[in-house]
Structure 1
Amino acid sequence: MAQAWKCSGLRWSADGPVLRWDGGRCSALSWGKQVAFRVVDGGVRTCVGARGHPCAARTVVSGRSTGARCEECARMDRAHSVAADTVADDPRPYHVYLAWFGPGMVKVGITALERGPARLLEQGAVCFSWLGAGPLMAARRAEELLRAALRVPDRIPYADKRAVRSELPGTQDGRAAEIAALHARAVALEGWPESLTPEPFRPVDHVRVFGLTGPPAAGAAVRELVAGGVVRGELVAAAGPDLHLTSTADGGEAVVLDTRLMTGWELLPAEGSVPELTVPVRRFRREPGVQDGLF
């Protein structure tokens, strides 16, 4: 019997997306590569633990959970998370950024300076610009200032991001227009933290990095993996944690697989070469002129 593997998530390197596996193995992904795996028959999805520690109880978790953690491990993970605002004494400098994911979808966020643009790639930001740099608490205050004064959110649901990727403006200037206007308003706000150094507007576009220059439109997303289920398709694009795969099951449309749904399962190579999906999917619903997201 083939060896079963456990996925530990998708990461972005200088060369593109990489799937990581427990034990340190990595699988580099490139456009045209076949992604093919089968969930172990009769298997269950177990908690992935937190902060590098395995779950002591090996708790069974929901197939639809993107975190794949039980309540106790989720609490432990949040307790040491800058993103959850539970760490206030991190001495590292931080960037404040504006990220754009599609029309009307701009968010403000922070990331450690040493991480560069990795956080933006992980979130699936189509376009972004740095806004300022400085100590963690100054970055936090700037983030809160933008939320309060300009009503810029610090989170955008992944479902909304996925649903608009096939309808992005065709030019870099068009994709950068919203964050250009917000950047100008943000650095002019009263109450800007003195220890945060403003940075000029320099948009960075990820459309080519993500492979979104003309792949088949995404029409659905995998809802969850199930025991014995098969995922097999050609990789045509990737953004954040999402892989866009073409499958005969959806008439040539791309289907989005959130790789966070893979964690916690035991996975085997899928035999055969015909693209197929035998896991539950959820169709995108679109109406003329209205973007609905996932339904």
Structure 2
Amino acid sequence: MAEVWKCAGLRWAAGSGSALVWEGGRTSPLTWGKRVAFAVAEGGVRTCVGARGHPCPVRASVPGRSTGARCEECARLDRAHSVAADTIADDPRPYHVYLAWFGPGMIKVGITAVERGSARLLEQGAVCFTWLGAGPLMAARRTEELLRAALDVPDRIPYAEKRAVRAALPGTAEERSAELAGLHARAGALAGWPESLEREPYRPFDHWAVFGLDGLPPATGQVSELVPGAVVAGELVAAAGPDLHLAVDGGGVVVLDTRLMTGWELGAARGGAGTGRLTVPIRELRVPRAAADVQEGLF
């Protein structure tokens, strides 16, 4: 390949959609119908992306199936400065507490810096969400723990479960936000909220159109890893969280988790790549049993 790039991941920003980000700051905005095509360097090795903006000092190799793309030491350093890992207690910024909905029976509670707006929700692939309140970091943390314990709401939902139900979600914003409304009311009735957290009224935000989910065909598979010399080419039909839904040759839709792209040297897919060719390992995308049971009751 004459020229190669290294992907730094998929970036979401409220109001401006998504874009692939490359090392050095270059971006590739993503729009529906856009052809996404690249080839992995022949004989290439996937290397650690480093931590907190610093390169890996030993350029360690990392497994192709890893979505973190970090060696053990860089992963440790990254989490040592992570609000999500609860390792920072003195951040002076105000934080939002939110409820996010990904599908029937899939609601999580979380926190995000107020200055980030809805970017964190877009990054997670939240189809709709509502704020619960805002305040100091530790007050937001205590509220998150209160809801987890009192209402049995998780703070994580696996991406595999989110993508498996994405093409079979209710078609109206009212249906999609109904569970949020009920849980927001239950949360508001709980005792023990920190006094320093300012509560917010129920107001649903919907990412259905932002993600391109209207009429989304069910995915037939997902890319399990990239390998040296492999080609990925397809038409972008939807994007949510780190996932790109690509229409490929044969009429199917395959999900590419863009976190699998980081750490590889990538170049243009040239002659013979076609408009929807994949030469990477693909695994079946399965609907979790719990989600399937809920879905059967609704449809």
Mark yes or no: TM-score above 0.5. Answer: yes
Q: TM-score range by the shorter chain?
A: over 0.9
The question of whether the paired residues in 2 share the 8 Å contact of 1:216 and 1:252 is answered with: no
Q: Residue 189 of structure 2 aligns to which amino acid in structure 1?
A: A
Equivalences for residues 279-294 of structure 1 within 5 A: 279-286=280-287, 291=292
Secondary structure of 2:285's aligned partner: strand
Q: Distance in 1 between matches of 2:291 and 2:261?
A: 31
Name 2:251's counterpart in structure 1: 252
Say whether residues 1:211 and 2:216 are aligned partners.
no
Q: Whole-Å Cα distance in 1 between the matches of residues 242 and 266 of structure 2? A: 18
- The structural deviation recorded for 1:281 is 1.0
Aligned to 2:3: 3
Structure 1 residue 285, shift from structure 2 partner:
2.8
Deviation at 1:152, TM superposition (A): 0.2
- Provide the secondary structure at the position in 1 that maps to 2:234: strand
**Normalised by the size of structure 1, how large is the TM-score?**
0.96
Q: 1:201, 1:219 → 2: CA distance?
A: 36
Counterpart Cα distance in 2 of 1:291 and 1:223: 22
Q: Does 1:228 align with 2:229?
A: yes
State the alpha-carbon separation in 2 of the partners of residues 147 and 290 from structure 1.
Answer: 20
Q: Secondary structure at 1:144's aligned position in 2?
A: helix
Deviation digits for residues 190-225 of structure 1 (CA, Å, limit 9, x no counterpart): 111111111001000101000000122212111000
Q: Shift in Å at residue 15 of structure 1?
A: 2.1
1:1-295 alignment, distance < 5 Å: 1-13=1-13, 14-248=15-249, 251-271=250-270, 272-286=273-287, 291=292
CA contact (8 A) 2:161 2:288 kept: no
What one-letter code is carried by the residue in structure 1 that aligns with 2:3?
A: Q
Q: In 2 relative to 1, CA 126–290 (structure 1 residues): closer, same or farther, beyond 3 Å?
A: closer
May I ask how many residue pairs the two structures share in their alignment?
Answer: 290
CA separation of 1:56/1:153 partners in 2, compared to 1, >3 Å: closer, same or farther?
same
- The whole-number CA distance in structure 1 between the counterparts of 2:241 and 2:136 is 26
1:188 deviation in Å?
A: 1.1
Q: Which whole-Å CA distance do the structure 2 matches of 1:225 and 1:215 have between them?
A: 24
Residue pair 1:246, 1:252 contacting (<8 A) in 2 also: yes
TM-score by length of 2: 0.94
More deviation in 265-274 or 220-229? 265-274
In the alignment, the residues of structure 2 paired with residue 180 and residue 36 of structure 1 have an alpha-carbon distance, to the nearest angstrom, of 41
**Alpha-carbon distance in 2 for matches of 1:286, 1:102:** 12
1:162-207 deviations in whole A, cap 9, x for unaligned? 0000110111111001111000000110111111111001000101
Moved more, 280-289 or 163-172: 280-289
Please identify which structure carries the higher strand content: 1
**Structure 1 residue 76: deviation in Å?**
0.4
Aligned residue for 2:220, secondary structure, equals: strand
Query: 1:54-79 CA distances to partner (integer Å, 9 max, x unpaired)?
Result: 00011000101100000000000000
Query: Any runs of at least 4 consecutive aligned residues in structure 1 with deviations exceeding 6 A, and if so which?
Result: none
SS of residue paired to 1:60:
coil
Deviation at 1:282, TM superposition (A): 1.1
Q: Distance in 1 between matches of 2:127 and 2:33?
A: 21
What CA distance in whole angstroms lies between the structure 1 residues aligned with 2:239 and 2:17? Answer: 9
Whole-Å Cα distance in 2 between the matches of residues 286 and 131 of structure 1?
Answer: 30
DSSP 3-state at the match of 2:20: strand
RMSD: 1.4
Q: Does the CA-based 8 Å contact 1:163-1:291 persist in structure 2?
A: no
| SS of residue paired to 1:6 | strand
The alpha-carbon deviation at position 273 of structure 1 amounts to 3.2
* Offset, 1:274: 3.0
Q: Letter of the aligned partner of 1:265 in structure 2?
A: W
3-state SS of paired residue (2:90):
coil
What 5-or-longer segments of structure 1 have no aligned partner? none
Is the partner of 2:286 in helix, strand or coil?
Answer: strand
Distance 2:94 2:103 in 1: 29
SS at match of 1:218: coil
Give per-residue Cα distances to partners, 1:50-108, cap 9 Å, x unaligned.
00100001100010110000000000000000010000000000000000000100000
Structure 1 distance, partners of 2:291, 2:185, is 28
